[in-house]
Amino acid sequence: MPDKSLVSVIIPFYNSAAYLSEAIESVIKQDYPYVEIILVDDGSSDNSSSIAAGFVSDGILLVKQQNAGASAARNTALKNCKGDFVIFLDADDILLPGVITLLVKEAVNCDMVFGGWSNFLNQRDNIISEVSYDTSLHPLTAFFKYKPTISTVLIRRSQIEKQWDEKMKVWEVTKFFFDIIRTGARVKFIGPIVTSIRQHVSAERITIKYDHFNPVNTALFLLQCKQQLQENGMLNNEVELVIDRELVAYNHLALRKGVDKATVRNNFHPVNWKAIKNQNGFLRTPIYWFIYYLKGFRGLYAFHQINKLLNRG
Of the two residues 162 and 101, the one the predictor is more confident about is 101
Could you read off the pLDDT of 118-159 as tens digits, one per residue? 998 877 778 888 999 999 999 999 999 999 999 999 999 999
Q: How confident is the model at residue 272 (pLDDT cuts 50, 70, 90)?
A: low
Max avg pLDDT among 63-77, 125-139, 162-176, 271-285: 63-77
Q: Quick one: pLDDT at residue 295?
A: 45
Sign of CA dihedral 23, 206, 253, 222: negative
In this prediction, residues 5-16 reach a mean pLDDT of 97
Contact predicate 53/39, CB 8 Å: no
* Domain segments of the chain as ranges: 7-198, 215-311
Residue closest to 280 by CA, chosen among 247, 249, 236, 238: 249
256 pLDDT higher than 90: no
Cα angle: 265, vertex 267, 271; to 5 degrees = 85
Name beta bridge partners: 95: 195
Q: Quick one: pLDDT at residue 246?
A: 80
Q: How confident is the model at residue 248 (pLDDT cuts 50, 70, 90)?
A: confident
In this prediction, residues 166-184 reach a mean pLDDT of 90
Residue closest to 119 by CA, chosen among 172, 198, 64: 198
Mean pLDDT of the chain: 82
Radius of gyration of the chain measured on its C-alpha atoms:
21
Spell out the residues 6+ positions from residue 287 whose beta carbon is closer than 8 angstroms to its own: 306
Distance CA 268, CA 223 (A): 9
Name beta bridge partners: 40: 12, 63
Residue closest to 53 by CA, chosen among 66, 64, 42, 62: 62
Q: How confident is the model at residue 221 (pLDDT cuts 50, 70, 90)?
A: confident
Q: End-to-end distance of the chain based on CA atoms, in angstroms?
A: 66
Distance CA 17, CA 52 (A): 9
In this prediction, residues 174-201 reach a mean pLDDT of 92
Residue closest to 69 by CA, chosen among 88, 93, 43, 39: 43
In this prediction, residues 16-33 reach a mean pLDDT of 96
Q: What is the DSSP string of the chain?
A: ------EEEEEEESS-TTTHHHHHHHHHT-S-S-EEEEEEEES-SSSHHHHHHTT-BTTEEEEEE-S--HHHHHHHHHHH---SEEEE--TT-EEPTTHHHHHHHHTTT-SEEEEEEEEESSSTT-EEEEE---TTS-HHHHHHHH---GGGEEEEGGG--S---TT--SSHHHHHHHHHHTTT--EEEEEEEEEEEE----TT-TT-SS-TT-HHHHHHHHHHHHHHHHHTT---HHHHHHHHHHHHHHHHHHHHTT--HHHHHHH-----GGGGTTSSGGGGSHHHHHHHHH-HHHHHHHHHHHHHHHH--
Q: How confident is the model at residue 242 (pLDDT cuts 50, 70, 90)?
A: confident
Q: Which fold has domain 7-198?
A: Spore Coat Polysaccharide Biosynthesis Protein SpsA; Chain A (3.90.550)
Pairing mode of beta strands 85-88, 94-95: unpaired
208 pLDDT higher than 50: no
Furthest C-alpha separation in the chain? 67
Contact predicate 82/36, CB 8 Å: yes
- pTM here is 0.82
Name beta bridge partners: 60: 37, 57
27 pLDDT higher than 90: yes
Q: How confident is the model at residue 312 (pLDDT cuts 50, 70, 90)?
A: very low
Contact predicate 224/168, CB 8 Å: no
| Region label for 91, one of left (φ > 0), alpha (ψ between -120 and 50) or beta (otherwise) | alpha
Could you read off the pLDDT of 72-99 as tens digits, one per residue? 999 999 999 999 999 999 999 999 999 9
